[in-house]
Amino acid sequence: MLISSAGIRLLDLPVLPNQIAPARIVSSVPFTYVSEEKTRAAREQILKRVPPVYRLDAEPLHHFEGAARNLLARLAEYEASHPAQSVALMNRHSALAALADEFNTQGPYDLGADDLGLLLTAGDAATRMTLFETGFAALGEIYDEGVHDATIADAGEGSVTVFQVERATGGVSDRPVQSMEDALTFMRVSLASSNVPRPAAQALFRFFRNGVRPTWSLTARPPSAGRPRCCRD
């Protein structure tokens, strides 16, 4: 077989990917070749069908709990050394603002001095510890179930997102994953207490809202074993 390009220029016979060629050349004998273009297209198509792999990430919970326990200790120290009746209002606000800023620097947190002041009205140090333990327990349940965010969205109309989790034993099972809104609702209900003034309860919820984060983090896609190496024409 002989194919000659004599007299044919690119200007006369341009052939581009996905473009219908203006001329047809037919071989008189069968042959095969590796099509890089079709190989690339086939791989991209399969990659789109392979779901990404996520894992439950509890590190934000551990980080928040450590920062929150440290804040509890600092509040107890402040309360013991600064009785409310002996501290001017402006000095109290400045001291609480410093504690709030110290807490905020430990993560993507948003705590204000006013909320710290409301937390002090919830009761003594032992009462605050009990309230915080309730919040930590609620956060633990939230992270165990998982929280998804907008980055894990439905594929489109008529589709559904299914989460499968690989257990430590090696088995894989389906499981529900709550939205951020559902997680915050669960946290609000868990912290509700008739023994805490409403303003203090609201401040407590705003504080623990800092600890509720999406718990799914992208690790990697499944390995490429089994993907087509090439396509043949």
Query: Tens digit of pLDDT for each residue in 114-124?
Result: 999 999 888 88
Q: With respect to residue 204, please indicate whether it lies within any of the assigned structural domains.
A: yes
- Chain-centroid distance, C-alpha 51: 16
pLDDT at 48 over 70: yes
Number of domains in the chain: 1
Residue with tokens 């965010």: 149
Report how far apart, in Å, the C-alpha atoms of 127 and of each of 124, 131, 134, 195 are: 5, 6, 11, 10
pLDDT at 140 over 90: yes
The set of residues, in sequence order, having a beta carbon less than 8 Å from that of 3 and lying 6+ positions away, is: 25
Higher pLDDT residue, 39 or 230?
39
Q: With respect to residue 190, please indicate whether it lies within any of the assigned structural domains.
A: yes
Q: With respect to residue 70, please indicate whether it lies within any of the assigned structural domains.
A: yes
Q: With respect to residue 93, please indicate whether it lies within any of the assigned structural domains.
A: yes
Segments forming the whole domain that contains residue 117 = 53-150+172-219
Q: With respect to residue 18, please indicate whether it lies within any of the assigned structural domains.
A: no
Q: With respect to residue 27, please indicate whether it lies within any of the assigned structural domains.
A: no
Residue range 169-198: average pLDDT? 81
Higher pLDDT residue, 191 or 91?
191
Q: With respect to residue 90, please indicate whether it lies within any of the assigned structural domains.
A: yes
Q: With respect to residue 45, please indicate whether it lies within any of the assigned structural domains.
A: no
At 54, give phi and psi (nearest 5°): -120, 160
